[in-house]
Structure 1
């Protein structure tokens, strides 16, 4: 088997922790044409506690899994949607859309990476993100970033960043432009229940 690196985008929503320790289980497989042809890739169970590490590397027979996670308190969910307002040529041969929080600005969450000079949009003109929901501290800031890249390195980068202030509910909108592509960024805010009691009372 050749050495390969894979980056997973899940889980797409934050994991609500109401007891300590909380166990995070990761079970990865190569999918075959039938279930009997599935191949185990990696299996990992991590106990997450307030004073524990946020990074761990675990080796198995076929792979090494690197798991990174961050604990957030009093956080909200931000569902990010971007609509193309004016179609145009993407100023580069690659594109990168990410999100981060002001407190962890260097830990960018990948929303979409694509190649080519056209944005991947659906029939309604919305960009088809690989991931669109992130968690943000209610008292923090959400940073949305769009980058146009010219080559394999990051030379000739054109980048736009927008900062959003979290809300308990509602929407926030901002317009951005890269080259001749004009887009509208919409963030829909919702509370992230802090314990099972909140789930039960929301039904």
Structure 2
């Protein structure tokens, strides 16, 4: 959904880390959904190229690109010497506070002001085995860096009124898994991160 009061769109991908091989292309294809697919209307379509900056430190930057239909601002982060973190979250005990929405997010220590939304919800979507289906589950983290995963319960998602929250930091690895527990009220969430090297491009 796209609201004019909130012009930021939440990405649900990528499902693997993006490796910069000069150049790498990002395709933006935005449509306004109609009642049927034939009634969908194009909002923006463009292709943006990015090249390796050669910088040895991670940094965040913005790009403003214009198509025939609209202007889009992209916020990107270039992660130096990174590994891939695949995140999964599972309810292991208790219940999410009744009547509360919430937010599960993550950020790296090096770019702490760039929060990545993993899932925003009005009602926590939990499978029979306790697994929570995240909207996004893969991030890049510097090989010698830290990743912080946070969960917040909110009384009113529109006003971002935080009631209670918890967060834990994970030290990056080249392989294996890391597991920590987050607690919101009586609800205990098991956060597991599977670490792997960023796939090389041939």
Sort the TM-score into its range (normalised by shorter chain).
0.7 to 0.9
* Equivalent residue runs for 1:101-140 within 5 Å: 101-116=108-123, 119-140=124-145
Deviation at 1:170, TM superposition (A): 0.9
Tell me if the contact between 1:168 and 1:189 (Cα under 8 Å) persists in the aligned partners: yes
Per the normalisation by structure 1, the TM-score is 0.82
- Alignment match of 2:20 (pick from 3, 7, 17): 17
Task: Provide the rounded CA distance (Å) in 2 between the counterparts of 1:22 and 1:106.
Answer: 25
Q: Name 2:95's counterpart in structure 1.
A: 88
Unaligned runs of 5+ in 2: 55-59
Unaligned runs of 5+ in 1: 197-203
* Equivalent residue runs for 1:17-36 within 5 Å: 17-19=20-22, 21-30=23-32, 33-34=36-37
Higher fraction of strand: 2
The higher radius of gyration belongs to: 1
Q: Name 1:58's counterpart in structure 2.
A: 65
Per-residue CA distance 1:57-86 (angstroms, 9 max, x = gap): 234454332211111122111111111111
Task: Provide the rounded CA distance (Å) in 1 between the counterparts of 2:68 and 2:19.
Answer: 31
CA RMSD of aligned residues (A): 2.5
Task: Provide the rounded CA distance (Å) in 1 between the counterparts of 2:171 and 2:4.
Answer: 42
Task: Provide the rounded CA distance (Å) in 2 between the counterparts of 1:60 and 1:46.
Answer: 11
Count the aligned residue pairs: 191
Structure 1 window deviating more from structure 2 (169-178 vs 62-71): it is 62-71
